[in-house]
Amino acid sequence: MRTATAQRKPHRASRDAAPTDTHAIVTHIARAIAAHKLPPGAKLGEEALGEIFGVSRTKIRQALFQLTSDKLVTLIPGRGAFVAQPTVREAREVFEARRMVETSVLTAFIERASTKDMATLKNHIAEQQRATDAGTAQTRNHLLGDFHTVIARLAGNDVMTAIVAELVARTSLITLLYQNTRGASESLTDHHTLMAAIEKRDVKLALQLMVAHLNDVENGLVLKEEAPVVADLKSALG
């Protein structure tokens, strides 16, 4: 069945470390990007990543392709993979998309939410508060973004949830590249105010607040084409 040629170094079937799967690698890198450990423009060398994750280039490649389709990584043919550097135009489009998508999702949530859903959401805000008071910047930022995804999830539409999640991830890259002058505490305040309107099931007010919130974040950015930032790998992926 197979044309036998010459024997080489044997493939090692059982490994010492865990058999890290592709999804884990994608998540790990995505997290590092969201946590601003890997700045926009950073080179993502395949061999280097393979070494870090104890896996061959094959899997790294898969991960990089997936990240590319998530728009977190840019793949330049023959040159390699880099952490994406969304343009000003793309940044504006992502924010517009969020206004469009999240207003619909929020409406659906308010119309459908059970008392339990409301409690879940309030609880999430409490977590955000705790992380802001006494957590790392990384978890705080993650939770602040995750809030929007959670609303989508509780609205009960997985398709919309995936869309929101992708937009939120892209936003975190954007806010790093165009240093937002707006602090995390302002966002948290927005979330509190928004939650109050949601709980009263005041759709009109809630939509107004959501749009205002997204606008404020966008306006807090310095949306000018910047000189690319660069940095190294090994330190970022602890």
List residues near its own copies by CB under 8 A: 3, 5-9, 62, 65-66, 69, 90, 93-94, 96-97, 100-101, 103-105, 108, 157-160, 163, 167
Give me the residue label for tokens 């840019």.
Answer: 74
Residue type, 141: N
CA atoms of 14 and 135, how far apart (whole Å): 39
Q: Which of 27, 56, 181, 189 binds DNA (CB under 7 A)?
A: 56
CA atoms of 22 and 58, how far apart (whole Å): 10
The residues in 71-100 that bind DNA, with binding defined as CB under 7 A, are 75, 77-81
User: Between residues 3 and 114, which has the closer beta carbon with respect to its own copies?
Assistant: 3
Is 55 a binding residue for DNA by CB under 7 A? The answer is: yes
Is 234 a binding residue for DNA by CB under 7 A? The answer is: no
User: Between residues 6 and 159, which has the closer beta carbon with respect to DNA?
Assistant: 6
Q: Which stretch binds DNA (CB under 7 A): 7-15, 23-31, 118-126, 198-206?
A: 7-15
CA atoms of 35 and 140, how far apart (whole Å): 10
Across the strands, what pairs with 76?
80
- Name, in order, each residue with C-beta under 8 angstroms of 226's C-beta and a sequence gap of 6 or more: 177, 178
Is 114 a binding residue for DNA by CB under 7 A? The answer is: no
Cβ contact 206:214 at 8 Å: no
Residues forming contacts to DNA in the complex (CB under 7 A) are 1-15, 19, 21-22, 43-48, 55-59, 61, 75, 77-81
